[in-house]
Structure 1
Amino acid sequence: MAQQLRGNDLRQLGFPEGRAIGLALAQLQRKHLKKLSHTDQLTLLQRVLQTPTEFSTDLDWSHVAAALLPPPSRHIALTERKEYALYGAEHIEQGAIHQMETAMKLPVTVAGALMPDAHHGYGLPIGGVLATDNAVIPYAVGVDIGCRMALSVLPLPPQFLGQRVQELRKLLLEHTRFGNRDGFQHGRKMDHAVLERNEFQDIGFLRNKQATAAAQIGTSGGGNHFVEFGIVEITEPQNELGLPLGQYVGLLSHSGSRGLGASVANHYTQLAMENCQLPAEAKHLAWLSLETELGQEYWRAMNLAGDYASACHFQIHHRIAKALGEKPLAKVENHHNFAWKERMADGREVIVHRKGATPAGKGVLGMIPGSMTAPGFIVRGRGVAESLASASHGAGRRMSRTRAKQELGEAEVRRYLAQHGVELIGGGLDEAPMAYKDIHAVMQSQQELVDVLGTFTPRIVRMEGAST
């Protein structure tokens, strides 16, 4: 095994101060590169330093090459804005529309749609759907990669919730964890095959992320993420869930890929911005071509994060169903903050980014939540081409987090929750139900996109901010 190189060794080769040195040293820790002799490692680094363009798409060295290359002398120019479908324009703030208009000017953009719950985000607005030509945009996927809704319909009558409030409250406290500081103690963690995936070893950036992923498996994030009990009402007799009309107890969770997804999003967005320099208003829409090894690397990391998010939900529902001694009658799970390879109506393959938008292909089931005091909707997609087979992912924010904290009071919110019969564990003013749009108006704006099979009404809600 070669003697370990240090920063001074790279400086002597001529490496500039900055990110390139750290990235190169980290890369040399990969198993197949550690086997090289000291001389061969130095020779390889010298080649990367002298001809970084030759390594700009190399799976091992593209990150280092990007850090060594000077920024392009000019930006990639935007093109004429392409048309896109807009649903519920009266519910959407101007900032989100402006962001969508900018996204429709990218040279790689093919088509787009904006959902009625849309609001301002980084790069693509939340609620934005964007189809591109063989390119993936990390910030059009989003930071919380693979964030999803998961619903279990349990064989319990609705009155069970009213009769067992304290028991169910205790159950949520015991079997869920939120945020970055509150995980399951050793011995209570559950294992999952996703933690053994090859990507954790194949992709150098992910090698030190496996431990964090293992520590956070089965937990939920902060912000608007939740696990809640509520009442499911099936209203459509012809439903793919195989459930008779009527009411049931439901368990609904909303969370994503935790620290793993956030790290992937931020890392590859930075690399995309280094390799794809756009005008200031579009800089967060920098893309990675899927013809490059860097683009393929992000694609693998994104899919890993999405599968990890699904594993977290599986564990949450498994823990709680086991504690209740019940087996779900049916499940619905769908995700957003992701990119899919799909074919448009004309047969063209595109990369469809859904940032805060629900897949609504023909016959595809999904769950669109409202707020703590408003119902969510179990839906079946209609596969409308103009919407890129998408629908909203919720009600959408009416107030920013800052504004909600400034304008709402805790006593006011507690009274409002009590009036609606909702028991809240944790949560903050920024997640108060008054901070969200009217879900009924949002659903009205997209009635051509989905069919409603039933509803979910929250009753006992847990969010970040309450410990065991």
Structure 2
Amino acid sequence: MVSQSTEEKPVFGQPDENTLKQFHDVLMRAERGALMADAHVGYIMPIGGVMAYQNKVSPVGVGFDIGCGNMAVKLDKALSSFDTSAALDIIEERIQFGVGKQNPDAPSDHPIFDAPEWDAFPNKKVASSLKQTAREQLGTVGSGNHYVDLFHDEDDHIWIGVHFGSRGFGYKTARGFMNLSRGKDWNASFEQKEVLLDLDTPLGQDYFAAMNLAGRYAYAGREWVCHTLAEAFDATILDEVHNNHNFAWKEEHDGQELIVVRKGATPAFPGQRGFVGGSMGDISVILEGVESEQSKRSLFSTIHGAGRVMSRTQAKGDYRGRNLSKSAIKPNMIYDRLQEQGVELRGGGLDEAPQVYRQLNDVLNYHQDTINIHHYLNPIGVVMDGPEQFIPNTMI
């Protein structure tokens, strides 16, 4: 079901007024657009927004976490013989979570560090600094809604799922090019404004090259995490599904070449698979795009998650944690939900509680004419940045 739709401006789901306002504002400067059912307010462009331009790209549309995306791998391990707590111990030991964290085991000789796109940065000093950040943070997971999850599917196979992007390297790249697009120095203070960069200009070409580098870097980090953990679990990977959802692509739609920016939206061309995660206590899915009129109107895009219904500040009170009496979410609310689902949580914060997100199945229903579901993945363990820890069946 699509709740609001025209051929040029499809809107899936029931977005709130502010999200719709953001969408229509950005759409005024684009050729075509679509809004996914998990959409909510973002910076300039809503999360869940898809915009198509003629030979132009929007750095603020792609956003700061360039190449943020999901990866899931299926293991040759069965739920019946899998020790979830021991596996979560390994994840906490091997993987670094949080802002600015470094990975001492990162492969410093990864081919990404010899890519020609490093020449897209304004000078050698900037490129060298960014490369150092990238080397240190490859394979680290950030904060917020970034995670490493353990699941089982309908055949009780174990899956690893991860969600994160290009870390500090991507953030600094986005910030720098946003400054350059407005005639400022690379490291200047800035405010977010939409500037469309023509890909026939040197600046547009440099941004697009740097963005692609950051996207491949994000891929490399997620692959490192999944493959490192599979090896640590003494498991063989049977299947992999991998996708960016904060990125811009050159694509053809209705015979026209367009630059398609997806901010919190998963590419879903016919036959293309994607991994979409729900909240820590909800299902996740492996899906595949299909051919349909609605798919064309969505620019062959689908959701990237369940979508927030509560802001972080509302969920946890004062953002520095000084006034938790005003938080809408209490720790026992997370515990009760995860206890019911049999999910063990390491880390996580009040602002990532299941209650702040929509139910994934409800969101997927709005896109049922554009995708097929291959696997439903049920969570058994979640690791995120944060202080809380909830372990089922260990408390009275």
- When normalised by structure 2's length, the TM-score is 0.87
Distance 2:213 2:387 in 1: 30
Q: 368, 384, 390: which is aligned to 2:301?
A: 390
Question: Aligned residue for 1:227?
Answer: 148
Name stretches of at least 5 consecutive residues in structure 1 with no aligned partner: 1-80, 234-245, 276-281
Q: 224, 229, 240: which is aligned to 1:320?
A: 229
- Report if aligned partners of 1:152, 1:251 keep a CA contact under 8 Å in 2: yes
- Structure 1 residue 268, shift from structure 2 partner: 1.4
- Report if aligned partners of 1:82, 1:105 keep a CA contact under 8 Å in 2: no
- Report if aligned partners of 2:60, 2:192 keep a CA contact under 8 Å in 1: no
Question: Aligned residue for 2:78?
Answer: 157
- Structure 1 residue 327, shift from structure 2 partner: 1.2
- Report if aligned partners of 1:273, 1:283 keep a CA contact under 8 Å in 2: no
Question: Aligned residue for 2:273?
Answer: 365
Question: Aligned residue for 2:106?
Answer: 189
- Structure 1 residue 398, shift from structure 2 partner: 0.8
Question: Aligned residue for 2:25?
Answer: 102
Q: Kindly provide the CA deviation profile for residues 311-355 of structure 1, in whole angstroms up to 9, marking residues without a partner as x.
A: 00111011111111111111111111100000111x111100000
- Report if aligned partners of 2:55, 2:258 keep a CA contact under 8 Å in 1: yes
1:263 aligns with 2:172: yes
1:85 aligns with 2:6: no
Structure 1 SS opposite 2:193: helix
Q: Kindly provide the CA deviation profile for residues 420-467 of structure 1, in whole angstroms up to 9, marking residues without a partner as x.
A: 111111111011111001211101111011111111111111001269
- Structure 1 residue 202, shift from structure 2 partner: 4.9
Identity %: 37
In our comparison, the structure showing a higher alpha carbon Rg is: 1
Q: Kindly provide the CA deviation profile for residues 228-268 of structure 1, in whole angstroms up to 9, marking residues without a partner as x.
A: 111123xxxxxxxxxxxx23100000000000111111111
Q: How does 1:257-336 map to 2 (within 5 A)?
A: 257-274=166-183, 284-336=193-245
Distance 2:118 2:387 in 1: 32
Greater RCO (CA < 8 Å, at least 6 residues apart): 2
Question: Aligned residue for 1:8?
Answer: none
Structure 1 pair 299–181 and aligned structure 2 pair: CA distance change class (3 A): closer
Q: Kindly provide the CA deviation profile for residues 159-188 of structure 1, in whole angstroms up to 9, marking residues without a partner as x.
A: 234xx1331121111121112343233xx3
Distance 2:56 2:117 in 1: 21
Distance 2:226 2:236 in 1: 10
Distance 2:67 2:249 in 1: 11
Aligned CA-pair RMSD: 1.9
- When normalised by structure 1's length, the TM-score is 0.74
- Report if aligned partners of 1:82, 1:104 keep a CA contact under 8 Å in 2: no
Structure 1 pair 429–283 and aligned structure 2 pair: CA distance change class (3 A): closer
Distance 1:83 1:380 in 2: 23
Distance 2:107 2:387 in 1: 22
Structure 1 SS opposite 2:225: helix
Distance 1:361 1:376 in 2: 19
Look up the equivalent residue of 2:107 and give its one-letter code.
M
Name stretches of at least 5 consecutive residues in structure 2 with no aligned partner: 1-5, 185-190, 317-326, 389-396
More helix by share: 1
Question: Aligned residue for 2:360?
Answer: 439
Structure 2 SS opposite 1:370: coil
Distance 2:247 2:74 in 1: 25
Question: Aligned residue for 2:342?
Answer: 421
Question: Aligned residue for 1:177?
Answer: 96
Look up the equivalent residue of 2:99 and give its one-letter code.
N
Distance 1:189 1:395 in 2: 31
Structure 2 SS opposite 1:342: strand
Look up the equivalent residue of 1:114 and give its one-letter code.
L
Look up the equivalent residue of 2:312 and give its one-letter code.
R
Question: Aligned residue for 1:147?
Answer: 68
1:344 aligns with 2:267: no
Structure 1 pair 466–283 and aligned structure 2 pair: CA distance change class (3 A): closer
